[in-house]
Structure 1
Amino acid sequence: MSPSTPPGAGTTLGTRAPVARVTSMRIVPFEALTGEELDAWHRLRAANPQLDSPYFHPGFAAAVHRSGRSVEVVLGRDEQSEIRALLPTHRNGGLLRPAGWPGADFQGPVLTPSTVFPPLKLLAGGARGFAFDHLLHSYPDFAPWVESTLPSPYVDTSGGLDGYLGRASRSGKDNMGQARRRAAKAEREYGTLRFAADVVDDEALRRVVELKRAQYAETGVRDFFAEPDRLALLSGLLHGRGADFGGVLSTVHAGRHLIAAHFGLRAGSVLHWWFPVYDPAFAALSPGWILLRELIAASARLGITRIDFGRGDDEYKRRAKTGETWVCQGVVTRSAIRRALRRSRNRLIDTARSSALGPGLRRAVRTIRGINR
């Protein structure tokens, strides 16, 4: 996924000379996809460098479907009945959402950059809307329905730690230096520091979920793991890994203590930073930065060239990032009432974010976002 400029900052959502056009769509259960249709999924994704995130890999939709959440795939064909686009979705009454919502940090149809995709054709078979909150900005056909656009930071890990330090901001370099010193302190106080970049460890995964749920409770954010299928999803991703896609669990121990861990998704050379956690008892050591430094240092031998952080205004993301892409929020709908209600909600969020009343309203923003992801 290449660096990109947001709409309204000197560019538009993009222009292209169309060479393919989706003229018809039908929706099928994920398990009904044929080998030909899955092959088309892989082929179209490989033809579009913007879709190298694990979220666009069919393995993600498959894992979500196996976890117990039904995934339906919109198949878009041209006039010659050739498959030109695929979009995995969930159906909630009359509303379609991207597969994996609310945990899908990149969204959109799988197609080539030169394919015209008519979003209104999604509104068929009882569907009255398609809501998105992390749609890649590089889909010009969705422009009329985009309500807001936000940055999604990433770290270019080419060349490992040395390569990163050569392109990092001053803040990123400073934090990596502090992480090195705090790692040494952790060893002195608690025992040998052990980093595992990729382990299959059910107990460590259980601890990741436990710490993440405690963080949700502390910050007032909707608990992603309140639904049992989410636990099944992570376990399935950890144990059902393939050659080019799967879950990745990384851990940092100081002596006998698990001080930080991360569960993410990997496809090829891209790792998505999904569920990072640390033990608050060791907060003074900034264990999250220790883990990130170790992972960047190991990236070359792991074959990872980019870590996507996902959308968010977390301070560590701003400090560590080497670039960003952009994702959009909105809803494809013919309903003027629905669009007006969403505009009102977005104005409420913007007001809370910018208010001088500070943390209380910013916490409200996180709550509103969690409800509407």
Structure 2
Amino acid sequence: MTRIASLRTVAFDALTGAELDAWHRLRASNPALDSPYFHPGFAEAVHAGKPVEVAVGRDERDEVAALLPMHREGGVLRPVGWPGADFQGPILAPGTSFPAARLLTGGAKRFAFDHLLEPNDDFAPWFESSRPSPYVDTTGGLEGYLARASKSGKDNMGQARRRTNKAEKQLGPIRFAADVVDEKSLAAVVELKRGQYAATGAVDYFARPERVELLTRLLHTRGTEFAGILSTVHAGDNLLAAHFGMRSGGVLHWWFPVYDPQFSALAPGWILLRELVGAAPELGIERIDFGRGDDEYKRRAKTGEVMVAQGVVTRNSAYRVVRRARNSMMTAAKQSALAPQLRRLARRLRAYNR
């Protein structure tokens, strides 16, 4: 077991070349960290619009053994990219112990996380809940997917093929673009997503302009090791569905999927997903991570899942009691079929329960 002997925090742009090299080396040594969220390119893109600090841990030989990128807001530390980070946790090799409580220095009172990748014994004492984060194994493209998909996944892919044909007859030729650099289409993604947030009462992620700017930076970040990926499906002149995400190596993260509500009868989201799974081998994509969520299509389409945890590292026991009470209220609201107003309250509370 490798243990951290020293831990210091620096701004992302103050990392040395050796520390950045160590980031790549440690990540490459740990297959669990293959998500683009753990790539330094993500932290760099975020830092361009919102300051990112990195806790750098060194072992007894004074070699970099762990890094944890994060934001500091007063006395609160949060994972890099929060609240849009679907995977969180330290960058380290297997068998390395990270001293989570030692983050609470220099005025930091707590480190709050909501998508911490499990298993993680170092943070486990502060876990409050765990939820699945589903994924799709796209090895072998559509044929490979259908060979291992659930009956529900196969059925929905079959329906997507038939609806693609129907859309083409009704609206015009189908055009799928797997990876385009198009700011106009990205703006359409943001507009449709904001409409979805408004319709469901969810917190509007894009209400803060710097988050739109982040997506624009990522759109223009190109390369196989880290890049933004914008995919679109048109029928004639109509944008049926689109998705903006990130990829690192063979992993694509399904981040902001949208569809035009006027075409909802065609299930355009499934049309897009089918096209993307089919194009995966050409793109070099072997897995699509959906991220945590209760969406029915994720449950139907998935071929597997990992677990992510919510919690807070803190020495304040009273604060943890308050959080547990809030979490209980949110759980009750989400489970209530008779009280949609409580579910709306739960969504508002979630923004403060970090």
TM range (shorter): over 0.9
Q: 1:140 aligns to what SS in structure 2?
A: coil
Correspondence for 1:15: none
Q: 1:325 aligns to what SS in structure 2?
A: strand
Could you tell me which amino acid in structure 2 is paired with residue 342 of structure 1? R
Q: Does 1:215 align with 2:191?
A: no
Q: 2:139 aligns to what SS in structure 1?
A: coil
Give the distance between the partners of 2:344 and 2:275, measured in 1 at CA. 31
Please, which of 285, 288, 302 is the counterpart of residue 304 of structure 1? 285
Could you tell me which amino acid in structure 1 is paired with residue 259 of structure 2? Y
Correspondence for 1:7: none
Correspondence for 2:228: 247
Correspondence for 2:63: 82
Q: 2:112 aligns to what SS in structure 1?
A: strand
Q: Does 1:234 align with 2:215?
A: yes
Q: 1:197 to 1:370 in 2, by over 3 A?
A: farther
1:103-146 deviation per Cα after TM superposition (whole angstroms, max 9, x unaligned): 00000000012001110110011111100000011211111100
Give the distance between the partners of 2:53 and 2:179, measured in 1 at CA. 31
Q: What stretches of structure 1 of length at least 5 have no aligned partner? A: 1-17
Q: 1:158 aligns to what SS in structure 2?
A: coil
Report the CA distance between 1:371 and its aligned residue. Answer: 4.3
Give the distance between the partners of 1:236 and 1:94, measured in 2 at CA. 29
Give the distance between the partners of 1:372 and 1:265, measured in 2 at CA. 27
Correspondence for 2:303: 322
Could you tell me which amino acid in structure 1 is paired with residue 29 of structure 2? A
Correspondence for 2:257: 276
Please, which of 240, 244, 252 is the counterpart of residue 263 of structure 1? 244
Report the CA distance between 1:362 and its aligned residue. Answer: 3.5
Correspondence for 2:144: 163
- Counterparts of 1:92-103 in structure 2 under 5 Å? 92-103=73-84
Please, which of 11, 17, 21 is the counterpart of residue 3 of structure 2? 21
Q: 1:223 to 1:356 in 2, by over 3 A?
A: closer
Report the CA distance between 1:358 and its aligned residue. Answer: 5.2
Correspondence for 1:63: 45
Report the CA distance between 1:364 and its aligned residue. Answer: 3.6
Give the distance between the partners of 2:349 and 2:104, measured in 1 at CA. 26
TM-score under structure 1 length normalisation: 0.93
Report the CA distance between 1:350 and its aligned residue. Answer: 1.5
Give the distance between the partners of 1:121 and 1:305, measured in 2 at CA. 37
Q: Does 1:178 align with 2:159?
A: yes
| Preserved CA contact (<8 Å) 2:323 2:353 | no
| Preserved CA contact (<8 Å) 1:197 1:249 | yes
| Preserved CA contact (<8 Å) 1:128 1:333 | yes
Give the distance between the partners of 1:371 and 1:203, measured in 2 at CA. 33
Q: Does 1:54 align with 2:55?
A: no
| Preserved CA contact (<8 Å) 1:222 1:371 | no
Q: Does 1:290 align with 2:233?
A: no
Structure 1 residue runs of 4 or more that deviate by more than 6 Å after TM superposition: none
Correspondence for 2:179: 198
Correspondence for 2:125: 144
1:262-303 deviation per Cα after TM superposition (whole angstroms, max 9, x unaligned): 000100000000000000111111000000000000001111
Q: What stretches of structure 2 of length at least 5 have no aligned partner? A: none
Q: 2:180 aligns to what SS in structure 1?
A: coil
Q: 1:358 to 1:178 in 2, by over 3 A?
A: farther
Could you tell me which amino acid in structure 2 is paired with residue 60 of structure 1? F
Q: 1:38 aligns to what SS in structure 2?
A: helix
Report the CA distance between 1:81 and its aligned residue. Answer: 1.2
Q: 1:338 to 1:264 in 2, by over 3 A?
A: same
Give the distance between the partners of 1:204 and 1:327, measured in 2 at CA. 31
Report the CA distance between 1:370 and its aligned residue. Answer: 4.2
Give the distance between the partners of 1:371 and 1:144, measured in 2 at CA. 22
Q: 2:122 aligns to what SS in structure 1?
A: helix
Give the distance between the partners of 1:371 and 1:189, measured in 2 at CA. 46
| Preserved CA contact (<8 Å) 2:326 2:353 | no
Q: Does 1:33 align with 2:4?
A: no
Could you tell me which amino acid in structure 1 is paired with residue 89 of structure 2? G
Instruction: Name the Cα RMSD after superposition.
Output: 1.1
